[in-house]
Amino acid sequence: MYSTTFIKRAFFIVILLPVVIGMGCQNKAIGQDGWQNLFDGKTLNGWKIVGGEADFYVEDSMIVCNTILDIDAGYLVTEKSYNNYILELDVKIDTSLNSGVQCRSQIWEKDTITTYLAGDRNGTIRQLKWKAGYIWGYQIEVDPSDRAWSGGLFEEGNRGWLVTLADNEAARKSFKPMDWNHYKIVMNGNKIQAWVNGIITVDTIDEMSASGFIGLQFHEAYREWQVDKKVLWKNIKIKELHFP
C-alpha cells in the first residue's frame, strides 16, 4: 500500500508536469535574448491569407509567393497582433513585382474615405474610398523598380506615402535587385524606423496606429509576363519591446 503522503506527492507531480513542459516549450520558442521566430521554416502556422487569393507556400525553408494573373492583391499576415517590436527578415523579389512588409496593420470594419498622398513631386492629394474588409496600416516598401523606394514608409489602405525616398540617394541605393535584402523595422511607441541592408531608410514619428498584425504583401499580376514571378521571404523573427 502507498502512504497518503506518497499519493499526494505523486498527484502534485502529475499536475505540475504539464506546466513545466509548457514553460520549457515557451522558453524554446522565445530565446534568452527575447527573439522569436515568426516563421518555423516548414509551415505557415501562425499565419493566414487575407484580402485575396494569393499563392503563398513554403519551399526550402522560405515563404514563397507566386504571382497569378488577375488575382486580387492579398497578404499573408500573422494571426497575432503586435505593439512595439523589432522585426527582422530577408526578402528577395523579381524586378517586375512590388511588395511590402505590413506593420501594425488592421482591417477596415466599414467603408471608409481617407485623404491619400500619392508621393509624387506635385504633392498630389486625393480622396479614396476603401471597402470594408480592406487592409490598412504601415507598410515598409519592397520596390525593385527604377524608382527604388525600397524601405520607404507607405500607409496601405489609408494615407499613402508618409516617407518617400525621392531625396534620399543613400537609401535608394541600399536595395539589391534580384538578391537577398535584409530588413530591420522598429516600431517603438510613436517612433518608426527602418533599415535596408544596414542603411537607415525611415526615421519618423507617427501616431496613427499603436497595434496590429504583421503582413507580407502580394501584388496582383496585370500582364502575362508577370505571371509565375516570385517573392521569397526567410529568417523572419521578432523581438517584442516591453515598457514598465
Predicted pLDDT at 220: 74
Reported as a pLDDT band with limits 50, 70 and 90, residue 87 is very high
Cell of 146: 527604377
Q: Is the pLDDT of residue 26 over 80?
A: no
Q: Is the pLDDT of residue 22 over 50?
A: no
Portion of the chain with pLDDT greater than 90, in percent: 73
Identify the band that residue 140 occupies on the pLDDT scale cut at 50, 70 and 90.
Answer: very high
Match 525621392 to its residue by C-alpha cell.
Answer: 166
Residue appearing with cell numbers 474610398? 129
- So what's the pLDDT on residue 73? 73
- Dump the DSSP string for 224-237: GGGTT-EEEEEEEE
pLDDT at 3 over 50: no
Average pLDDT over residues 68-75: 79
User: pLDDT band at residue 148, thresholds of 50, 70 and 90?
Assistant: very high
Q: With bands split at pLDDT 50, 70 and 90, how would you rate the model's confidence at 24?
A: very low
- Grid cell, residue 168, equals 534620399
Residue 18 CA to its chain's centroid (Å): 33
CB 214 within 8 A of CB 99: no
Can you read off the three cell numbers belonging to residue 22?
A: 509548457
pLDDT reading at 110 higher than 50: yes
Q: Is the pLDDT of residue 72 over 80?
A: no
Burial of 173 (0-12, 13-18, 19+ CB in 10 A): middle
Give residue 159's identity as a one-letter amino acid code. Answer: R
Q: What is the pLDDT of residues 170-197, one digit of tens each?
A: 999 999 999 999 999 999 999 999 999 9
- In this predicted structure, what is the pLDDT of residue 29? 67
Taking alpha carbons only, the member of 170, 176, 181, 231 closest to residue 203 is 170
| Res. 74 pLDDT band, cuts 50 70 90 | confident
**pLDDT reported for residue 32:** 77
